């Protein structure tokens, strides 16, 4: 095998798995990125992936690969930047092992992430949340499961991966009711439950009758729900709920929008952003600031507390001949 092939294998087994002990999701994301890159480079150079060298993955090829992701595979700029981060991580690891390829590696590491427009987060109003949670048919087993699942999502703000990773022992009812999960970066997080959520979860657990290690929200066959199945169920309920709440039809509602909705609920209740960051499992409080930008009510309250400055309208009159000259240009 080539030096690139052996370095790539060591990057996964030594760097990611042994040293950093990354989560399975991170490992999968890096694997998918580098697999796409190797296939792209193999087609460009007419070589088998195992025979590619570092010089075959130079900056122009990496740039072409990033363009391919955006234009041919229709990846978003965020996804493109995430793929670039994985590539740069590999090349930083290779820089210490192969100084003879320093020039190629340095040029790849110099490729910057692409800037993109940051849009305001989408979230659901209380009326929209009520319509969504009323959509599942509670006379069926699936409907009762989904009522508990999406109700828990809206109240706790858990990520989709965290929700489908919950087991029956993750929910603790009674005094100090809460749900515990292993979040991003393998960080354990505990989120308290409201009285109404406790009632729904107690009813579901009584019906579920699963063992402590069984999935909390399984499929009909008892297996763990997939992310795609979760999004599909949500899309169906949003479509049904739009009949009672038309504003839902104008929003693209995903599982992450439910997470945003939980955060906005906390923010509008006056909860400090540092607490919201802990609630959501944000490693940096700056991540939570996006909700401040999206909340118009906070800005309106700030505006109401300000006193308008009483000034008379007028035109600037320069007091100097040189300033007058510049003003006339």
Active site residues: 159, 184, 256, 259, 282, 291
Do 67 and 20 contact (CB within 8 A), yes or no? Answer: no
289 contacts: CB under 8 Å, gap ≥ 6: 273
Whole-number Å distance between alpha carbons of 37 and 71: 15
Identify which of 48, 42, 62 has the alpha carbon closest to the alpha carbon of residue 105. 62
How many C-beta atoms lie closer than 10 Å to residue 316's C-beta?
A: 7
Instruction: Write phi, then psi, for 179 (nearest 5 degrees).
Output: -120, 135
């Amino acid at each position: 095998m080539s030096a690139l092939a052996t370095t790539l294998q060591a990057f996964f087994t030594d760097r990611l798995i042994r040293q950093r002990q990354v989560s399975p999701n991170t490992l999968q994301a890096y694997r998918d990125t580098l697999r796409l890159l190797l296939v792209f480079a193999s087609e460009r150079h007419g070589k088998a992936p195992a025979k590619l060298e570092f010089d075959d993955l130079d900056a122009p090829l990496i740039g072409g690969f990033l363009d391919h992701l955006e234009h041919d595979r229709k990846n978003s700029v965020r996804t493109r930047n995430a793929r670039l981060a994985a590539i740069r991580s590999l090349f930083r690891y290779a820089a210490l092992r192969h100084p003879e390829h320093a020039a190629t590696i340095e040029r790849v590491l110099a490729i910057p992430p692409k800037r993109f427009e940051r849009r305001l987060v989408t979230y659901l109003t209380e009326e929209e949340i009520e319509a969504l949670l009323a959509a599942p048919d509670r006379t069926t087993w699936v409907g009762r499961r989904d009522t508990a699942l999406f109700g828990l999502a809206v109240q706790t703000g858990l990520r989709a991966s965290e929700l489908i990773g919950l087991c029956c022992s993750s929910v603790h009812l009674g005094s100090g009711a809460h749900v515990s999960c292993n979040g991003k970066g393998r960080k354990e997080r505990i989120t308290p439950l409201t009285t109404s959520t406790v009632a729904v979860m107690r009813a579901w657990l009584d019906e579920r009758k699963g063992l402590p290690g069984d999935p909390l929200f399984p499929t009909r066959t008892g297996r763990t729900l997939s992310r795609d199945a979760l999004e599909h169920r949500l899309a169906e309920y949003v479509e049904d709920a739009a009949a009672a709440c038309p504003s839902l039809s104008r929003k693209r509602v995903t599982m992450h929008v439910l997470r945003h909705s939980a955060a906005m609920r906390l923010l509008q209740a006056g909860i400090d952003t540092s607490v919201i960051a802990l609630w959501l499992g944000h490693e940096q409080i700056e991540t939570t600031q996006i909700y401040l930008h999206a909340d118009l009510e906070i800005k309106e309250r700030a505006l109401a507390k300000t006193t308008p400055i009483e000034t008379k309208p007028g035109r600037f009159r320069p007091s100097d001949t040189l300033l007058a000259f510049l003003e006339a240009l």
